[in-house]
Structure 1
């Protein structure tokens, strides 16, 4: 649009050069000059607003980028914290399992000693009691281990994961407990 006006103005200017003396007397010359002044005024007024709007947008984008960086750093810190808590919970679960194995072994040895003492008097009756005691002890130990492991896992997982992932991890941990206890 401006190019067409500029071309028209240039054509008028060359035509006016032919009639240099009459150029300022022509109404077309004054219309063209007035038009150029108005266009220059409008461009100057809108230019400031456009540049101001672009500057504001650039500042808003910079602020958004800074906010995004801060959120990313915070998320990374939280992730590292949750990973540390998860490692600690896994170590606690392993310690519980080790303790349960030691306790089960201790109880097994104790049961053997009791078995030898009572074999002489009531061999059949002693075998039944020891089997019941071992089964009960294993159930109790497994129950405690499961309860503690589930509570620790629930706390860590509840803070770091969504419901679907939590359910999958709890199921995997529960199904793996028999392997860890034997």
Structure 2
């Protein structure tokens, strides 16, 4: 029986496959593929976990941003209320100041007016006394004149006070 090259190729292939099975190459290949599959599964789970953490961080930062915006709005509204209150207070203080200054000016005017009236009265009395002295001196003389002048001065002084 002559064996041709195809037969020997078949025998070589069978021996090669038997050797591979004996050395457990298919198990090692399967083991390597399983390990690679486990590594990929682990990486996918790690990527999923990282993605969830990133989403949680994003949600947390968005919540903090909303809180910061709300706080900024509160600060702005508080500042606006304080500004309005300060403006109202300043206006009230200005009005009180103007009223006080007006009252002071009116008091000064009234005081100056009273002083002017007093000065006019004093000057009138002095003029009246001088005129009376001149008239009495021209018409009355002696002891009687001195008594009348003294009495007139006392009467005028009593009426003014």
TM-score normalised according to structure 1 size: 0.49
Aligned position for 2:82: 61
**Pairwise CA distance, 1:56:** 1.2
Unaligned 5+ runs, structure 2: 1-41
Higher relative contact order (CA closer than 8 Å, sequence separation 6+): 1
CA distance in structure 1 between the partners assigned to 2:153 and 2:159 by the alignment? 10
Q: Secondary structure at the match of 1:57?
A: helix
**Pairwise CA distance, 1:24:** 3.0
**Pairwise CA distance, 1:51:** 1.7
Higher CA-based Rg: 2
CA distance in structure 2 between the partners assigned to 1:34 and 1:135 by the alignment? 108
Q: Secondary structure at the match of 1:119?
A: coil
- Output one character per residue of 1:29-57: Cα deviation in whole Å (capped at 9) or x when no partner: 47734642452253144223312211211
Aligned position for 2:27: none
**Contact 1:115–1:130 (CA under 8 A) maintained in structure 2:** no
Aligned position for 1:134: 153
CA distance in structure 1 between the partners assigned to 2:99 and 2:81 by the alignment? 27
Q: CA RMSD in A?
A: 3.1
CA distance in structure 1 between the partners assigned to 2:156 and 2:59 by the alignment? 97
- Output one character per residue of 1:112-151: Cα deviation in whole Å (capped at 9) or x when no partner: 123553435xx1x54344324313322432x3xxxxxxxx
Aligned pairs, number: 119
Q: Secondary structure at the match of 1:54?
A: helix
CA distance in structure 1 between the partners assigned to 2:43 and 2:154 by the alignment? 119
Q: 1:115 to 1:53 in 2, by over 3 A?
A: same
Aligned position for 1:99: 120
Unaligned 5+ runs, structure 1: 1-18, 144-182
Q: 1:36 to 1:133 in 2, by over 3 A?
A: same
